[in-house]
């Protein structure tokens, strides 16, 4: 079961099967990033708009060895409400702790830097990719992604590229892949 959830600064297509986002979409521009200096909320919560049979709970992440990895980053949020909403577990995937604070954090920062230089709107779509060997955590069996991607589309230049990362320790930020390659790897035609 997939459900669409709208928040102030991002939208989630949520999977009741994996109990994580299918992907999360954001519209960013220089103004939104310049306003994004809100104090980090750090109050994670299960989204009550999702039936309990389809959502992750805080208990699922406890002692799992994984961090609650934001798909729409807290660092992109420009209001206290948007910041608080970004801590919904519907915006999270179980992420390798070292990866979340390392290569993935750098990709998030690099994306913000790009948006600050862009002439107009930039669409960012972030999501997990699972394989048959993807494990799960907690009583609700929240799936742990094997890969994560961040697709960046500059509406002014009409250029798109994606970062593709294995959800594991020791990942480095490599060169981005093309939009076509991302579609091939995920099976999702984002701008169809």
Q: What is the pLDDT of residues 135-168, one digit of tens each?
A: 999 999 999 999 999 999 999 999 999 999 999 9
Which pLDDT score is estimated for 39? Answer: 77
State what percent of residues in the chain have pLDDT above 90: 95
Domain range spanning residue 106?
Answer: 2-186
User: Is residue 70 flagged as an active site residue?
Assistant: yes
Q: Tell me, yes or no, whether 148 lies in a domain.
A: yes
Does an H or E element contain 116, and which? helix 103-117
DSSP string, 42-79: ---B--TTS-GGGS--HHHHTTSSEEEEESS-GGG--S
Q: In sequence order, which residues have a C-beta less than 8 Å from that of residue 188 and are 6 or more positions away?
A: 23
Q: Tell me, yes or no, whether 66 lies in a domain.
A: yes
Helix (H, G, I), strand (E, B) or coil at 144: coil
Q: Tell me, yes or no, whether 97 lies in a domain.
A: yes
Q: Tell me, yes or no, whether 52 lies in a domain.
A: yes
For 188, phi and psi rounded to 5 degrees? -110, 125
CATH code for the domain of 93: 3.40.570.10
Distance CA 93, CA 71 (A): 7
Cα dihedral sign, 186-138-92-3: positive
Which pLDDT score is estimated for 5? Answer: 98
Q: Tell me, yes or no, whether 20 lies in a domain.
A: yes
Does an H or E element contain 13, and which? strand 11-15
Q: Total structural domains in the chain?
A: 1
pLDDT higher than threshold 90 for residue 126: yes
Distance CA 155, CA 64 (A): 39
Residue 88's alpha-carbon distances to 126, 155, 184, in angstroms, are 15, 28, 29
Please report which confidence band the pLDDT of residue 19 belongs to, taking 50, 70 and 90 as the band edges.
very high
pLDDT per residue as tens digits for the range 28-69: 999 999 998 767 778 999 999 999 999 999 999 999 999 999
Q: Tell me, yes or no, whether 71 lies in a domain.
A: yes
Q: Tell me, yes or no, whether 191 lies in a domain.
A: no
Q: Tell me, yes or no, whether 152 lies in a domain.
A: yes
Set 14, 70, 99, 163: catalytic member: 70
């Amino acid at each position: 079961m997939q459900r669409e959830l709208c928040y102030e600064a991002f939208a989630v297509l949520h999977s009741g099967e994996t109990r994580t986002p299918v992907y999360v979409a954001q519209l960013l521009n220089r103004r939104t990033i310049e306003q994004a200096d809100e104090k980090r909320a750090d109050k994670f919560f299960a989204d009550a708009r999702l039936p309990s049979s389809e959502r992750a709970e805080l208990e699922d992440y406890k002692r799992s060895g994984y961090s609650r990895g934001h798909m729409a980053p807290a660092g992109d949020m420009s209001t206290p409400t948007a910041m608080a909403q970004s801590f919904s577990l519907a915006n999270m995937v179980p992420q390798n702790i070292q990866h979340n604070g390392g290569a993935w954090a750098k990709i998030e920062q690099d994306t913000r830097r790009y948006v600050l230089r862009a002439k107009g709107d930039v669409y960012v779509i972030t999501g997990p990719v699972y394989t048959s060997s993807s494990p799960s955590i907690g009583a609700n069996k929240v799936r742990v992604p094997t890969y994560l991607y961040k697709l960046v589309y500059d509406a002014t230049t009409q250029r798109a590229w994606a970062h593709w990362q294995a959800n594991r320790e020791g990942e480095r930020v490599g060169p981005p892949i093309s939009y076509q390659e991302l579609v091939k790897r995920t099976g999702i035609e984002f701008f169809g």
